[in-house]
Structures are given as structure tokens and as C-alpha cells.
């Protein structure tokens, strides 16, 4: 007697748990606020909000204020060329200790304490950020790096394990294997561009670009530069806007200027690339 093979009933195809596309969001935080427990608490909530939205947060941080404090304690004199800080060997040691050690671990501790898996490292680790010495026509800036490339292997490995990367901008000298200090805004821009991040958030102490007392929701890079020339954007807001325009001009889809509350609320000013005809 022939055995009839029963065919299984058609089963609906399994659908991914997460239907919202997962995008990378790079968050750049300065060093001035990182010694404030209230700011760190807000940063933790902001990172949790990004994760709750189904996206992947990556943090890049600075720490200039703390570096200056330790240089003063050690009796190191700050030197500048055309407004740019010269980083000699002793200053480089301080910058690396403060950024890759004290400041970096302060952020990681806050995240881990809140139940968010996080790991801190610098651009030196696994050769994540490769640099060459920055050239300046007026003199030698010392160990100040100009970013040449970003290797995302370590970042990708952590993200795949659901661990938030916390990155110090101290970077790897491509030709001499020395550590170099890098502007944290530039490091965040390079990382965001290489990761194809949906946006780069510059966390500030203001809710966004203010015009006539109101936050502008969006502006093109060209319009922002025009507002600087016209005196509409002034003072401490100028370097923040310049960092955002530099980001979109160097491959980042959108840069956002906001404060820590704005990260949680999704508010602030979005700076986008200029429209082409």
C-alpha cells in the first residue's frame, strides 16, 4: 500500500522583530559638561531614547576643559599658533590620559550603571582613526592629527554585540605609530561619514540655532554660513554651526545642533547639505 506523504500547511514567513530600519546615530559630546552628574544622567537617557527608537548610538567625546585643568596643575604652558593649540609631547601625554582614560571611563561608567552595555576606546585602538600630522603654514603644531581614514571594524564588532561604542578622539599616527590629538568634532564627523550614519548630533548647551529668539528647525549649510556673515549667528554659536556645516560638507547626511534634552525629544536644528540646482 502506497504511503501518502502529508504536506505541511503553508506557514507565514517569519517577520523580523524590528520592523523599523536600524540606523546609526553618532552623538558628539563636549568635555565641558562631562563632570556634571546631571548632564551624564541626561546623556544616559538620551542614549536609551536612541536605542528605544531602534537605532544604534555611537558616542564620540571631547574633554578640552579637563585637559586644560590638568595641564595647569602640572605647570604646562599652553602654546598657540594662529589660535590653534600646539600639542607637544608632554601635553600629548596629558591629553591621552584625560581623554582616553578619565573622561572616556566617566561616560562608560554612567552608561553601564544604567544597564546600557558600553565599552570605551580611542582612535588608537585597532587603528580605528588613522591620522597624519596636521600641517600649518605658520609653524609646527606638534602632535595634532589630520584624519586620513576610519576603520570601523572595532565599532562594528561592538555594535553587533549590542555594546555602545564610546570613542575618545586620540588617534593613531599612520606613519610613525604615535598618538595624536584630534579635534573631537572632526573625529565625530569622520566616524559618522564612514558609518553612513543617519545623523550626527552635536550636543550643546543651547537647544539649537536661535534666530529672533526661536529655534530654527532646519537650515542648509550655505544659509548657515550666510547668517554668520550677516551677524545673525554670533559668538559661541559660530564654532558649533561651523562644525555642523563641516560635517554635512564631508559626507554626513544631517548634522543636528541641540542640547541634551533635545536629543531625547528629537528637537534642535538640522543642518543639511546645500540644495543643488
Residue 248's pLDDT is 92
Task: Report yes or no: 71 and 78 within 8 Å, Cβ to Cβ.
Answer: yes
Predicted confidence (pLDDT) per residue in 83-121, tens digit: 777 899 999 999 999 999 999 999 999 999 999 999 999
List for the chain the helix, strand, coil content (%; round to 5). 35, 25, 40
133 and 248 share a domain? no
213 is catalytic: no
Residue 261's pLDDT is 93
Q: Which one of 31, 142, 262, 270 is the catalytic residue? A: 31
Q: Which one of 42, 64, 208, 262 is the catalytic residue? A: 64
Instruction: Indicate whether 259 pLDDT > 60.
Output: yes
Residue 82's pLDDT is 79
Q: Which one of 28, 42, 142, 262 is the catalytic residue? A: 28
- Report which of residues 61 and 11 the model is more confident about: 61
* Whole-number Å distance between alpha carbons of 223 and 105: 38
**Inside any domain, residue 11:** no
185 is catalytic: yes
142 is catalytic: no
- Could you tell me the pLDDT band of residue 10, with boundaries at 50, 70 and 90? very low
219 and 183 share a domain? no
Q: Which helix (H) or strand (E) holds 3?
A: none
Instruction: Indicate whether 13 pLDDT > 60.
Output: no
**CB proximity list for 94: less than 8 A, separation 6 or greater:** 67, 70, 71, 74, 76
192 and 265 share a domain? no
Name the pTM for this structure: 0.88
Mean per-residue pLDDT for 73-78? 88
Count of domains forming the chain: 2
The three-class DSSP label of residue 123 is: strand
235 and 131 share a domain? no
Share of the chain above pLDDT 90, in %: 70
Query: Last residue of some domain: 146, 164, 197?
Result: 197
Residue 195's pLDDT is 95
**Inside any domain, residue 9:** no
Residue 28's pLDDT is 96
| DSSP code of residue 262 | H
Range of the domain at 243: 202-277
Predicted confidence (pLDDT) per residue in 116-163, tens digit: 999 999 999 999 999 999 999 999 999 999 999 999 999 999 999 999
Residue 85's pLDDT is 79
Residue 234's pLDDT is 86
Task: Report yes or no: 98 and 67 within 8 Å, Cβ to Cβ.
Answer: yes
65 is catalytic: no
251 and 191 share a domain? no
165 and 211 share a domain? no
214 and 236 share a domain? yes
Q: Which one of 30, 120, 185, 199 is the catalytic residue? A: 185
199 is catalytic: no
* Whole-number Å distance between alpha carbons of 200 and 74: 35
Instruction: Indicate whether 190 pLDDT > 60.
Output: yes
**Inside any domain, residue 18:** no
Predicted confidence (pLDDT) per residue in 46-56, tens digit: 999 999 999 99
Mean per-residue pLDDT for 247-271? 92
Residue 66's pLDDT is 87
What CATH number does the domain containing 113 carry?
A: 3.40.1160.10
Please give the full DSSP string across 65-108, using - where no structure is assigned: HHHHHHHHHTTPPP-EETTEEPB-HHHHHHHHIIIIIIIHHHHH
Query: Last residue of some domain: 197, 228, 247?
Result: 197
149 and 240 share a domain? no
**Inside any domain, residue 28:** yes
Q: Which one of 42, 199, 240, 270 is the catalytic residue? A: 240
30 and 102 share a domain? yes
Amino acid at each position: 500500500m502506497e504511503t501518502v506523504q502529508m504536506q505541511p500547511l503553508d506557514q507565514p514567513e517569519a517577520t523580523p522583530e524590528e520592523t523599523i530600519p536600524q540606523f546609526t546615530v553618532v552623538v558628539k559630546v563636549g568635555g565641558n559638561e562631562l563632570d556634571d552628574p546631571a548632564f551624564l544622567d541626561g546623556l544616559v537617557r538620551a542614549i536609551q531614547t536612541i536605542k528605544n527608537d531602534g537605532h544604534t548610538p555611537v558616542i564620540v567625546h571631547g574633554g578640552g576643559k579637563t585637559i586644560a585643568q590638568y595641564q595647569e596643575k602640572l605647570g604646562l604652558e599652553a602654546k598657540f599658533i594662529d589660535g590653534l593649540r600646539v600639542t607637544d609631547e608632554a601635553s600629548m601625554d596629558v591629553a591621552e590620559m584625560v581623554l582616553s582614560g578619565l573622561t572616556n571611563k566617566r561616560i562608560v561608567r554612567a552608561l553601564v550603571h544604567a544597564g546600557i552595555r558600553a565599552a570605551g576606546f580611542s582612535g588608537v585602538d585597532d587603528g580605528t582613526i588613522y591620522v597624519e600630522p596636521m600641517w600649518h603654514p605658520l609653524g609646527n603644531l606638534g602632535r595634532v592629527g589630520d584624519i586620513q581614514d576610519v576603520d570601523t571594524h572595532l565599532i562594528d564588532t561592538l555594535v553587533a554585540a549590542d555594546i555602545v561604542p564610546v570613542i575618545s578622539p586620540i588617534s593613531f599616527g599612520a606613519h610613525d605609530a604615535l598618538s595624536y590629538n584630534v579635534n573631537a568634532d572632526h573625529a565625530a564627523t569622520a566616524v559618522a561619514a564612514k558609518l553612513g550614519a543617519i545623523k550626527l548630533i552635536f550636543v550643546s548647551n543651547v537647544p539649537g540655532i536661535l534666530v529672533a529668539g526661536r529655534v530654527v528647525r532646519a537650515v542648509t549649510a550655505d544659509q548657515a554660513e550666510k547668517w554668520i556673515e550677516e551677524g545673525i549667528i554670533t559668538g559661541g554659536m559660530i564654532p558649533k554651526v561651523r562644525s555642523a556645516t563641516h560635517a554635512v560638507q564631508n559626507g554626513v547626511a544631517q548634522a543636528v545642533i541641540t542640547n541634551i534634552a533635545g536629543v531625547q525629544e528629537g528637537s534642535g536644528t538640522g543642518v543639511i547639505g546645500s540644495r543643488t540646482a
